[in-house]
Amino acid sequence: MGCCSGRCTLIFLCTFQLVTALERQVFDFLGYQWAPILATFAHIVMVILGLFGTIQYRPRYIVVYAVWAAVWVTWNIFIICFYLEVGGLSKDSELLTFNLSRHRSWWREHGPGCQREEPAAGLRPPDGQALVPGIGCTLDHGYVEALHSALQILVALVSFVCACYVVSVFTEEEDSCLHK
């Protein structure tokens, strides 16, 4: 296979997905968003599986990764709908925290251009994180989360196509080796 083969492209895409997923995981942890933390953890495991399958020429692993990419696109569409409040969803609900905490997206307080308004000394939540949204944000936290998900969707769709191509190439190479 050549230097700019589908295999090399898929390795690059998986590596890029790992970097973006780790970045997302950090911000989900900072906001105590438990459902996205679990989903992103599963995503990281599946991307590593796809990366391993690509490097080791294991088409079955790549197929699992491709199926996961479709599931990941679906999850991110849900996240976009959640933060943009489509279809009766509310970004102020505790759906993503499993009702374990009152925290919201980290970007709600720390988004681009946000200035934090500190609550009065006696009104702080017991765990130290303010639950007051930032003031004067350049971009609302829902849009920041939606942009994160849109990037994940874009990379997952390109990776899905590339994974299907790599599986077909690997399968074709196996078939040609069997007929010799």
pLDDT, tens digit, 9 for 90 and up, residues 68-91: 999 999 999 999 998 898 888 777
Q: CA-CA distances (angstroms) from residue 64 to 24, 115, 147? A: 22, 44, 26
pLDDT of residue 1: 44
pLDDT of 62 over the 90 cut: yes
pLDDT of 58 over the 50 cut: yes
pLDDT of 100 over the 70 cut: no
Contacts of 47 (CB under 8 A, 6+ apart): 14, 17, 18, 21, 65
pLDDT of 59 over the 80 cut: yes
Which range, 17-21, 106-110, 141-145, has the best average confidence (pLDDT)? Answer: 17-21
pLDDT of 37 over the 70 cut: yes
Q: Does residue 172 or residue 161 have the better pLDDT?
A: 161
pLDDT of residue 130: 47
pLDDT of residue 3: 53
CB 36 within 8 A of CB 79: yes
